[in-house]
Structure formats: structure tokens, C-alpha cells
Structure 1
Amino acid sequence: MTKIFIIRHAEAEGNLYRRVHGWYNSLITDNGYRQIAALRGRFAKEHIDAVYSSDLFRTMTTAKAIYPSHGLELHTTPALREIGVGVWEDVPWGALERHDAMRLILFNHASPNFQVEGGETFAQVQARMKGAVLDIAARHPSQTVALFSHGSAIRCLQGIIRGMGPGEMDSLGHSDNTGVTCLEVEGDEIRILYENDNSHLPEEISTLARQKWWKAREGSMADANLWFRPLDLEREEKLYLDARHEAWVDIHGSGIPFDGQGFLEDAKTCWKTDKDKALSVAMQRGEVAGLLQLDLERHADQGVGYIPFVYMTPQHRKKGLGVQLLGQAVSIYRPLGRTRLLLRCAPDNEIAQRFYKKYGFVKVGEAQGARVPLDLLEKYIGYQPKD
């Protein structure tokens, strides 16, 4: 008999930015690294003979909670990957709610009829995951093995062990990030000892503790998902200027003159570079929730993705939505080979400073020649894992 711990990866960008990440190679969040530390403590005295993970960054990084301290090597296999979602990869959940709602409902219910172009079916994932577990168990008879995989993939495995096919898994729970499921495997038989155990996580670092989507799905406002559309500066100049003016007055007051024309010219320069990506409107369903401006050329030779303007409308602030604008910036800049995000923030804008610090930005300098004092804040978005 082989004992297997199958562990979901730590919190990753898809969980934070509210984007669909199946085979997309996303990073672990700062909170995810805290979860990995807690997982390391849980398994410190547990005997483990071998460690496997999917070949994606988020699982390989989470596996560092076990294999280095146990003196083991990491074996990777695509058989433990998340469900592949083809053309949905790295799309905001809000965009699917807006533009592909019927297939999203099929996905949420693990329907046998779900599939998108270039993606997998739930039946394929069930067969793949069961096959991977049986194959690994056969290589390690009478041993204990840790496997690192993904949320939907683990749920598919739990379902097929119970004899549930696609469309029958609604009653199954959802695993927290770094949640642990324990299996016993003998021959072709798999038995669940326990599942989705996150007892090693303090509530303050649990991902599911602060999200409600897993309790209330379609039609719920519990977790607001944004979608993005290009801002047409020829038709929506007023929208841009009003946002810039409101942000200026909110931060600096009315005593310092607002240079609307200067901001507008800067926006036009960015917009003409790429009208689909440089200026984006963040939408919550049918409402404008914010704006994102990217300068795709500035600092490009240094591998930097520069962000001149991040804005949330007053009614959408303090709701945890702003991080999704950062996710949009990452989604655009990473395929261009940028490894860092750079932006400017007033040192006395305490709310924004706390926000950017929370999501991994650090001060790297001060802006020269700006109208007002501004800190330069930077965030690394490359694939170098933390120790």
C-alpha cells in the first residue's frame, strides 16, 4: 500500500487577480509564500519518500515546502497539471461572465458538455489524474509520496475516486491553497483518508477565508470580477480627463494646479503605440470601475513595464478590486518579456502606498522633474522564486 498526500499549490496570481489560470504559468503571491512556510511546518516531521509536482511554476515552488528539507529531488510531470482551458487562459473571470456566460456555468458545474477551444474536458482530467496517481503509486510501493497539483484537477480526482463523473461533483468541497488530501493506494484501488485539510493555515493567510465565490457562484456579487475593454481616447477623452482630475484633487487637493492638457498628451502618446492595450477601462458588469494606463515603450529596453496611471472610481474603492488592474498590467507586460512593473506614487498618499506595498511593490527611488514629489515603486514579475 502507498500513502499519498496530494496538495494544492499555494495562492497564485490567478487566485489574486481573478483570472483563469489552467496551464498558464502564474507566480506565487506574497501570501502564498506565507502559506508555503506554514505547509513546511506541517510536514517537518512527516516521513516522505518522494515528491512529485506538475511542471508549472506554482506547484514546483509550493513543493519546496517538502523536498529540500527532506533531502529529496523533485520529479515533475504534466500529468498533474490543472485543467487546460485553451483560449480561456489568462482571461479575467469577469470577461467570461460578460462574454461567455453559458460556458462559464458549464465550467462551474464541471459539466460533461464543457470544453473550450484548445482545452480539456473534465472527463479527460479525471482520467489523467487517476492515471497519474496509480502510476506514481506503482513506482513507490509501501512508501509515502507527496504530490503537488491544482484545485480543479484535485477535485476531479476526488470525484472519480468516489465514482462521480463530470456533472456529478457539485457536492464536493473546494480545497484551500495548500490544502492537503490524503490517499491510500493499493493496486488499482484508491481510498480517501481525508481531504482539503487546511488546518496548518491561520485564518489570516487562508485564501478561502477571504473569498466567497466557492459559497455562492453565478449571479452572486460576493466576489466582484472585473473585465477590461480598450479606452477609445477619441470618443472618451472626457472619461479619461475626469478620472485624472478626480485623482489629482483627491491626492493633492485643489491648491496645486491640475495640468489636464499635459496628462492628455501623455495619454495620447501611449494610446497611439497600441490602441488595444495602452489604455483600458476596468468594468464591473456594465459600470466603469477604473482606468489603467500603460506606457509600452518607456523603459522597455530595461525589461520594465511602466504604469503611468492606475485609477478606481470612488464608488469602487476599498472593495478589494484594485489588484485586478495590476493583474491586467501583468497580463499585458509579461508576454512582452518585462520582468518588473514600475509606477510612481505620492509619498503622502498613504492609502495607495499601503496598497502597493501589500501587493509586492517596493520603493526604488524618487521621480525626477515631476510636478509634485513622487516615489518610484517597483514589483518583480519574473519567474525567480523566493527562497
Structure 2
Amino acid sequence: MNGMWLVRHGALPPNPERRIVGNRDIPLSSAGRQQIYALAHDFMPILAGRLAAVVSSDLGRCRETTSILLTGNEWTASPPPVHFEPGLRELDMGQWQGLTKAEIEARFPGQYDARGRDFAHFRPEGGESFAQLQSRALEAVRRWRGRYPEGTLLLVAHAGVIRSLLAHYMALPLDDALRIPQEYACRTFVPEW
């Protein structure tokens, strides 16, 4: 089977002000770790001996998710090779990262609404568009699929990355990508990728 499992990292610490996370390196919360331990317990035994490789975003929350997923499972021979891939990092929101919606509207008048009108192509100052994110994520998948043409890959990444890959796979416009559910610690299988 040449499919690919896409796993989102666990929950982050509470963010009541709804500050833009983007690709800031924020660790998992204790609740997020528990989500991934539960996922490892229920899901990873099914994959033992079936994974060609694990490819993870290089941000800490995905590294930790990967570590938890691979710890404590019975592998038939040895655990699959693990690779950390910058191309699977979350969307770079540039100067918006760490800001609230109100702060963005105050510092960059009209830009928040402009992003809403052209979600796929709008790029915050110093950041990247969702189309750019999709392009680099697809390139990373192509590169790793080329390295492991046979077998199943496990990708550990972020909501934006996974949504962009699924939008491509399902031939959806990027403007519809936010409609694709991506809860913390969820998993999705894509056959024949």
C-alpha cells in the first residue's frame, strides 16, 4: 500500500486571546500530550511494521508528537526511520504572528479583510500565502514519496499543512481548505499518494 497517514499534533496551551500561532515554535500542552498518548495507544499498534518512514514538521510540537507516537510501541523489527522536514512547517504569518485580530487591524489596516477576500493568495508582510504553503508542502511530500516509493508514510504536521494537502488531493479550491476539519491529534488516511 502506497498511502499516507496525516496526523495533526496535539493541543497547544490555551490561547484565550486567539493570538495568531503560525509557525511559532509553541510546545504541546499537557492536554495535547495526553491526546497523543491516547492516539499512540489506539492507532500506532495498527501501523507496526507497515510504515516505510515517518516525516514530521521540524517544529517542537510535531517533534514531540512524533516521539510520543513512536515510544512504547511494539515494532516487528525496528521503528521506521524518522525525518524532520521544514517543508511541513505551519503557515508563516510573518508580522501577524503573535498578534490578535484587533492588533492586526490596528497595525495593518484593511489587511485582515483583504485576507478574507483572497485567502489562498494573500500574504501578510514577511509571511507566506496559503498557496505558497501548499506548494512547499506538496514539494516535501513529492520528495519523501520519491525516497520511499513503496509503503505507507506517516506525516506529522499542522492543520494548515494538512488542509492544504487534502485540498490538493480532493481537488478543492484552497479557499475551501478551512472547511476541512482538523482537530488536534486527528488522523486522516490518503490512499495511493
TM-score by length of 1: 0.44
Q: Which runs of 4+ in 1 moved over 6 A?
A: none
Higher helix share: 2
The corresponding residue for 1:37 is 37
RMSD across aligned positions (CA): 2.4
Tell me, yes or no, if the aligned pair for 1:126 and 1:156 is still in contact at 8 Å.
yes
Tell me, yes or no, if the aligned pair for 1:4 and 1:184 is still in contact at 8 Å.
yes
Question: Offset of 1:72 from its aligned partner?
Answer: 3.5
Question: Offset of 1:100 from its aligned partner?
Answer: 4.7
Higher strand share: 1
Cα distance, 1:109–1:150 mapped onto 2, change above 3 Å: farther
Cα distance, 1:141–1:87 mapped onto 2, change above 3 Å: same
SS at match of 1:7: strand
- Structural mapping, 1:171-250, within 5 Å: 172-185=179-192, 190=193
Bigger RCO (CA 8 Å, 6+ sep): 2
Cα distance, 1:113–1:80 mapped onto 2, change above 3 Å: closer
TM-score by length of 2: 0.83
SS at match of 1:167: helix
Cα distance, 1:169–1:126 mapped onto 2, change above 3 Å: same
SS at match of 1:2: coil
Provide the rounded CA distance (Å) in 2 between the counterparts of 1:110 and 1:15.
Answer: 26
Provide the rounded CA distance (Å) in 1 between the counterparts of 2:45 and 2:15.
Answer: 26
Tell me, yes or no, if the aligned pair for 1:159 and 1:169 is still in contact at 8 Å.
yes
SS at match of 2:190: strand
Deviations, residues 6-44 of structure 1 (Å, cap 9, x unaligned): 111111137566221222110111110110111101222
Which protein shows a greater Rg? 1
Provide the rounded CA distance (Å) in 1 between the counterparts of 2:40 and 2:82.
Answer: 15
Provide the rounded CA distance (Å) in 1 between the counterparts of 2:130 and 2:184.
Answer: 21
The corresponding residue for 1:214 is none
Tell me, yes or no, if the aligned pair for 1:9 and 1:178 is still in contact at 8 Å.
yes
Determine if the alignment matches structure 1 residue 76 to structure 2 residue 84. yes
Cα distance, 1:123–1:113 mapped onto 2, change above 3 Å: closer
Provide the rounded CA distance (Å) in 2 between the counterparts of 1:36 and 1:23.
Answer: 20
Provide the rounded CA distance (Å) in 1 between the counterparts of 2:155 and 2:19.
Answer: 24
Question: Offset of 1:45 from its aligned partner?
Answer: 2.9
Unmatched 5+ stretches in structure 1: 191-387
Query: Percent identity of the aligned residues?
Result: 26
Determine if the alignment matches structure 1 residue 48 to structure 2 residue 56. no
The corresponding residue for 1:193 is none
Provide the rounded CA distance (Å) in 2 between the counterparts of 1:169 and 1:67.
Answer: 29
The corresponding residue for 1:20 is 20
